[in-house]
Amino acid sequence: MKKGLKISLWLLGFLLALPLCGIVAFWLFQPQMFEEPIIDTLPPTLPASITDNAVLVYSKTSGGFRHDWSIDAANSMLERFADKHDWQVFYTENAAIFNQHQLAHFAVVVWNNATGAGLSEQQRLSFQQWLEAGGGYVGIHAAGDGSHESWDWYTNEVIKAPYNQHTFFPEHTPEASLTTENQQHPATAHLPEVWSITEEWYAWKKNPRDAGATILVTVDENSYTPGAATMGDDHPVVWSHSLGKGRVFYSAFGHWEAAYEDALLAAMMEQGIIWAGRLD
């Protein structure tokens, strides 16, 4: 066999093996993504001292991508808020907590990078009824990703937009310029009009602005190369809205741990929780 042909065949084999190697590596890194979501049936035990104005932090990732590093960093950030405001915070990855009796103890639930279809139909209904009756919801980053697409109410009424994809090529987490569109909202009143940060930029198939959300922050696609994760001239990344008597606040920031140590973003999340849960 000629040398040139051998090299070509070796290169072809190498290129064909790359996707398989990627799948194997991803399976080792994120095995839960290749499993059926686990539906919890036994609720966690709440502390006997819990009040009716606590903060629930939910970070289950059964059947979805797990941002281990970000979940931990966000929980540390939330602990700082709890110490500052004397909040009672309950952390769980057990979706069976979404029942009418236990949800009644919470003013707001923070979906800390929660992914996957991990709630039963009854748990989904209990959460919907609680939120629409006056509860508060705060979604962080992956709480708005595509792993929730089977739950129409959550995608269309809570997040207000079906997820498309995130930046990957030519760069996964580029630095980009941001515009604070609404400086009247308590969560974004402290933000400069124009600023920048490094992030994994999410894009949605529909604009939440068109669904009635109040857009708080947008990212300028001219300041980076979005690749296929594009929304054009109007690309929201933080927004809020009312849902029945409830309040919703969503931020797409938070892929890396650094987001939770950033003073501007931490203050935004703190005030977003206060606003959504009416904790002021």
Residue 225, token pair as written in the block: 């190369």
> Is residue 21 scored above 80 in pLDDT?
no
> Is residue 107 scored above 70 in pLDDT?
yes
In angstroms, the first-to-last Cα distance of the chain is 77
Q: Is 250 helix (H, G, I), strand (E, B) or coil?
A: strand
On whether residue 61 sits in a domain, the answer given is yes
Instruction: Give this prediction's pTM.
Output: 0.91
Give which of 141, 148, 144 is closest to 73, Cα–Cα.
Answer: 141
pLDDT at position 17, please? Answer: 44
On whether residue 67 sits in a domain, the answer given is yes
On whether residue 270 sits in a domain, the answer given is yes
Pairing label, strands 163-166, 246-251: unpaired
On whether residue 84 sits in a domain, the answer given is yes
Residue 84, token pair as written in the block: 């500052």
Average pLDDT, the chain: 92
Render pLDDT for 23-67 as a digit per residue (tens, 0 to 9). 566 557 788 888 888 999 999 999 999 999 999 999 999 989 999
Over range 227-253, report the average pLDDT.
Answer: 98
Domain at 131, CATH number = 3.40.50.880
Render pLDDT for 172-224 as a digit per residue (tens, 0 to 9). 999 999 999 999 999 999 999 999 999 999 999 999 999 999 999 999 999 99
> Is residue 11 scored above 60 in pLDDT?
no
In the chain, the amino acid numbered 62 is S
On whether residue 70 sits in a domain, the answer given is yes
On whether residue 4 sits in a domain, the answer given is no
Residue-range definition of the domain harbouring residue 133: 55-163+211-216+233-277
- Tally of domains in the chain: 1
As a whole number of angstroms, the distance between CA 37 and CA 97 comes to 16
On whether residue 99 sits in a domain, the answer given is yes
Q: Which residues, in sequence order, are CB contacts of 235 under 8 Å at separation 6+? A: 201, 203, 218, 219, 220, 221, 226
Alpha helices in 86-174 (DSSP H): 100-103, 121-132, 152-153
On whether residue 16 sits in a domain, the answer given is no
Over range 130-138, report the average pLDDT.
Answer: 98
pLDDT at position 16, please? Answer: 52
